[in-house]
Amino acid sequence: MKVLVIGAGNMGLTYAEGMSKSKLLKKKNIMVLDKSEEKLKELHKIAHFDTFEKLEDCVPKADIIFIAVKPHHAINVFNTIKPLVQNEQIIVSIMAGVTIESIEELTGLKKIVRAMPNLPAQIGKGLTSFVVSDEVSRIEMLTVESLLATTGKSIQVSSEKLIDASTGISGSGPAYVFYFMQSMMEAALKMGFSKKDSTVLVTQTFAGAIELFNQSNISPNSWMEKVASKGGTTRAALDSMEDNNVNELIKEAAFAAFSRAVELGEEH
Ligand SMILES: NC(=O)c1ccc[n+]([C@@H]2O[C@H](COP(=O)([O-])OP(=O)(O)OC[C@H]3O[C@@H](n4cnc5c(N)ncnc54)[C@H](OP(=O)(O)O)[C@@H]3O)[C@@H](O)[C@H]2O)c1
């Protein structure tokens, strides 16, 4: 099996590196194409995959083609690959807001996977949600799932609406966590801790809480109840959050990202 990644940017390289580190594919079976000659020269020196400058040299050889360019470059890429593709090839698009229907229309292909990664994919801790078109067989779906999971975890969803929804949860989600971290670091600084200690206090608290949660089988709510005794310090903080409606505001923020993902999809 040969995989081609079009677009050697943040995400394209993340997947190419992930696939190469996973040993699912040999170096010669991972092909990367970018329009920048300079970038390709650099990659050629260090990379664990073959690099290409011309579509005609790599598109016909690929079984699976990852499209990792920005959404506004999509039409240009699809127009140029259209004369080179064959029916059996699978397109995996990670472009936000570009629908399966538009990819089918622009390429003439029917085996399409639309995926939504997130930033921690860069360190192998990502979450990629994906949906497949009807023409993708179960074996093909499992193959793509394992390729996507080389950057973390991958989950199949049943509709493109859920891809937009996952943008609101896992896609944009790392920024919500950073927001919470930033607020806690600012509070720590205000309480008198140094910048360094504020960072350690907050990062270790996040890492520890997640690990604790992962090693248990109880819900976040149950954990909150466990740590918040009546009249205690944690209860005071949680009551303050409840009084300020923080729970609802976080949900509202996630839905704002979901709606924006839907809107962006309509623009393409
Ligand atoms: N970054 C994220 O966290 C994230 C999360 C979810 C989804 N995504 C999706 O991932 C996709 C890629 O994002 P990114 O952040 O990796 O973008 P990026 O860093 O800009 O990478 C895109 C690369 O593709 C190249 N390119 C553009 N047009 C091309 C063409 N016609 N042929 C070959 N290469 C071409 C670009 O070159 P130039 O720079 O010269 O234009 C650039 O090197 C986007 O569609 C985005 O929606 C990203």
* CATH code of the domain in which 130 resides: 3.40.50.720
Q: What is the pLDDT of residue 237?
A: 97
Take residue 202 and report the two structure tokens written for it: 């907050």
Asked if 145 and 182 sit in the same domain, the reply is no
Question: Residue 165 domain-assigned?
Answer: no
Ligand 1 centroid–CA 38 distance in Å is 16
Q: What is the pTM of this model?
A: 0.91
**SS3 of residue 12 by DSSP:** helix
Question: Residue 185 domain-assigned?
Answer: yes
Q: What is the pLDDT of residue 42?
A: 85
Asked if 124 and 12 sit in the same domain, the reply is yes
Asked if 260 and 134 sit in the same domain, the reply is no
How many domains would you assign to the chain? 2
Q: What is the pLDDT of residue 27?
A: 86
Determine the structural domain holding residue 208 and report its residue range: 173-265
Question: Residue 235 domain-assigned?
Answer: yes
Q: What is the pLDDT of residue 11?
A: 94
Name the residue of 70, 102, 119, 177 to mutate for ligand 1: max ligand atoms within 8 A of Cβ. Answer: 70
Q: What is the pLDDT of residue 68?
A: 97
Ligand 1 centroid–CA 6 distance in Å is 9
Asked if 213 and 251 sit in the same domain, the reply is yes
Cβ atoms < 10 Å from Cβ of 258: 19
Instruction: State the Cα–Cα distance between residues 231 and 243, nearest whole angstrom.
Output: 16
Question: Residue 255 domain-assigned?
Answer: yes
Ranges of the chain with pLDDT below 50: none
Asked if 155 and 178 sit in the same domain, the reply is no
Q: Give ∠ CA 101-17-215 in degrees, rounded to 5.
A: 90
Question: Residue 168 domain-assigned?
Answer: no
Instruction: State the Cα–Cα distance between residues 50 and 268, nearest whole angstrom.
Output: 31
Instruction: Name the domain boundary from 134, 160, 186.
Output: 160
Asked if 12 and 86 sit in the same domain, the reply is yes
Instruction: State the Cα–Cα distance between residues 162 and 268, nearest whole angstrom.
Output: 18
Asked if 135 and 8 sit in the same domain, the reply is yes
Instruction: Name the domain boundary from 128, 160, 192.
Output: 160
Minimum-distance ligand 1 atom for the alpha carbon of 12: 16
Name the residue of 73, 93, 122 to mutate for ligand 1: max ligand atoms within 8 A of Cβ. Answer: 73
Beta carbons within 8 Å of 87's beta carbon, 6+ residues apart: 109, 110, 111
Question: Residue 87 domain-assigned?
Answer: yes
Question: Residue 30 domain-assigned?
Answer: yes
Q: What is the pLDDT of residue 69?
A: 96
Between β-strands 64-67 and 3-6, what pairing exists: parallel, antiparallel or unpaired?
parallel
Cβ atoms < 10 Å from Cβ of 139: 8
**SS3 of residue 108 by DSSP:** coil
Q: What is the pLDDT of residue 211?
A: 96
Instruction: Name the domain boundary from 129, 160, 191.
Output: 160
Q: What is the pLDDT of residue 44?
A: 81
| In the chain, alpha helices (H) | 10-22, 37-46, 55-58, 74-81, 100-107, 138-148, 160-166, 173-191, 195-214, 220-227, 233-243, 246-267
Asked if 261 and 204 sit in the same domain, the reply is yes
Asked if 148 and 56 sit in the same domain, the reply is yes
Asked if 9 and 119 sit in the same domain, the reply is yes
Radius of gyration (Cα) for the chain, nearest Å?
Answer: 22
Contact criterion met (CB below 8 Å) for 68 and 5: yes
DSSP letter string over 179-225?
A: HHHHHHHHHHHHHT--HHHHHHHHHHHHHHHHHHHHTS-S-HHHHHH
Minimum-distance ligand 1 atom for the alpha carbon of 93: 45
Ligand 1 centroid–CA 233 distance in Å is 46
Asked if 188 and 156 sit in the same domain, the reply is no
Asked if 45 and 133 sit in the same domain, the reply is yes
